[in-house]
Amino acid sequence: MAARKALTARSVLLSVLLGTDPPHLPVHLLVRTASLFGITEGTARTALSRMVAAGELAGDGSGSYGIAAGHLLARQARQTASRRARTDPWDGHTWLQAVVVADGRRSAADRVLLRATFAAARLSELREGVWLRPDNLGEARPVGAEEVRWFRCVPEGDPGELVRRLWDLDWWAGRAQGLRSSMTALLDPLVAGDRQVLAEGFVVSADVLRHLQSDPLLPRELLPTDWPGGALRDEYDRYDGAYRSVLGRWFSEHG
């Protein structure tokens, strides 16, 4: 396996909380999880203190911490929704379109934030300031300023060709297959209760959840017949159950 960039204490602690529902854990479990990655107790506690000072986490006065920042709670909600992958029936024609007008009035930081917001809502940019997707995700729309105008439209031409222009489906499918292989390699050791794969398994889990958030959740009619989105989710559910079982036993021994 290729070498991975070392995880920081903050990234580990946030990943643990984002993967917990509700996102609230005793400090000793957070510290123990960080130790799986060679992060010392002092470093983990310092990171927790800094995250509290930054408004990302909040303590409850009894030795537990939970996510406090709104954008992190929204990130967890997106993560949960990505695993469920709920969509509405598509009428086969209608697309949702967002047009950013008077974008020059925005600061560079605001423009970057708006682009990230559209991407998180699974719209793709046709050209600067014009974002599209098939209208199969209900009424949920990213919150934007008054310069954003929303339309429902019916693009001319082949919708499959437009999809291929907007999303790199081959890349997404290839990455999904690689993640499925990574989970398969770890599943038997996890089922057998092997604690030695907890750190590697944690990273794989985070990679899968991140990849699911980039799934465009397109209508079935516009996806390749061998699209691996459903298989990736099903296999992750099994993998996650096995991982949490081993991690829970590890916590009980080290808590």
Is residue 146 scored above 70 in pLDDT? no
pTM over 0.85: yes
**Residue 244: both structure tokens together:** 């949490």
pLDDT, the chain, mean: 88
Q: What is the pLDDT of residue 191?
A: 95
Number of domains the chain is built from? 3
Q: Is the distance from CB of 247 to CB of 198 less than 8 angstroms?
A: yes
211 shares its domain with 248 = yes
147 and 177 assigned to the same domain:
no
- Write the single-letter amino acid at 137: L
What is the pLDDT, as a whole number, of residue 105? 67
246 and 189 fall within a common domain: yes
Residue-level pLDDT at 2? 41
Between 155 and 112, the more confident residue is 155
As a whole number of angstroms, the distance between CA 135 and CA 152 comes to 8
Output DSSP code: residue 7.
P
Q: What is residue 91's predicted lDDT score, i.e. its pLDDT?
A: 95
Q: Would you say residue 2 lies in a domain?
A: no
104 with 177, same domain: the answer is no
| 138 and 202 share one domain | no
Residue 87 within a domain: no
Identify the domain boundary among 57, 72, 87.
72
* Amino acid, res. 118: F
> pLDDT tens digits, residue range 18-54?
878 788 888 988 998 888 888 999 999 999 999 999 9
Question: Mean of the pLDDT values across residues 144-161?
Answer: 86
Taking the CB of residue 93, how many other CB atoms lie within 10 A of it?
A: 12
Kindly tell me the burial class for residue 73, based on how many C-beta atoms sit within 10 Å of its own C-beta (0-12, 13-18, 19 or more): middle
In a domain, 78, yes or no: no
Contact (CB, 8 A) for 71 and 14: no
User: What pLDDT sits at residue 32?
Assistant: 87
Would you state the pLDDT for residue 108?
A: 80
Q: Is 158 a domain residue?
A: no
Residues 195 and 136 in one domain: no
Residue 230: give its domain's CATH number.
1.20.58
Query: CB–CB of 58/65 below 8 Å?
Result: yes
Within a domain: 85: no
Three-class SS state of 150: strand
Assign 1 a pLDDT band (cuts: 50, 70, 90). Answer: very low
Q: Is residue 3 part of a domain?
A: no
On whether both 175 and 148 belong to a single domain, the answer is: no
The domain of 194 spans 169-254
Sign of the C-alpha dihedral, residues 215, 166, 223, 139?
positive
Report yes or no on 193 lying in a domain.
yes
**Using one digit for the tens of pLDDT, what is the confidence trace for 198-245?**
989 999 999 999 999 999 999 999 999 999 999 999 999 999 999 999
1 belongs to a structural domain: no
CATH number of the domain encompassing residue 40: 1.10.10.10
The two structure tokens encoding residue 135 = 């209208």
Give the residue from 86, 82, 6, 12 showing the smallest Cα distance to 45. 12
